[in-house]
């Protein structure tokens, strides 16, 4: 995701350079959709990973330090 943001920042920096694509509206629409999809997939995978870790790692009982199964 950070690479994508860096690439997007580089593209924003070249806006005034005179190089314009054939249809900038379509180009920016695709970039925005791709960014939203990247964020959505990142959040989705993070939630799956957290759930898997929570289920696989036993919790610790705070009173006596014994591991408890979930």
Q: What is the pLDDT of residue 50?
A: 93
The residues spanned by each domain of the chain are 1-12+24-55
- Predicted TM-score (pTM) of the model is 0.54
Highest-scoring range by mean pLDDT, 33-37, 40-44, 65-69: 40-44
Q: What is the mean pLDDT of the chain?
A: 76
Answer yes or no: is pLDDT of 53 > 80. yes
Over residues 4-38, the pLDDT tens digits come to 667 777 777 666 666 666 777 887 888 888 889 98
Angle between helices 24-56 and 2-13 (to 10 degrees): 160
């Amino acid at each position: 995701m950070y690479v994508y943001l860096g690439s997007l920042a580089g593209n924003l920096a070249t806006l005034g350079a005179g190089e314009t694509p054939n249809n900038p509206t379509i180009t920016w629409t695709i970039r925005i959709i791709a960014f939203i999809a990247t964020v959505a997939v990142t959040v989705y995978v993070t939630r799956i990973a957290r759930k898997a870790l929570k289920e696989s790692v036993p919790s610790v009982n705070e009173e006596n330090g014994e591991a408890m199964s979930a």
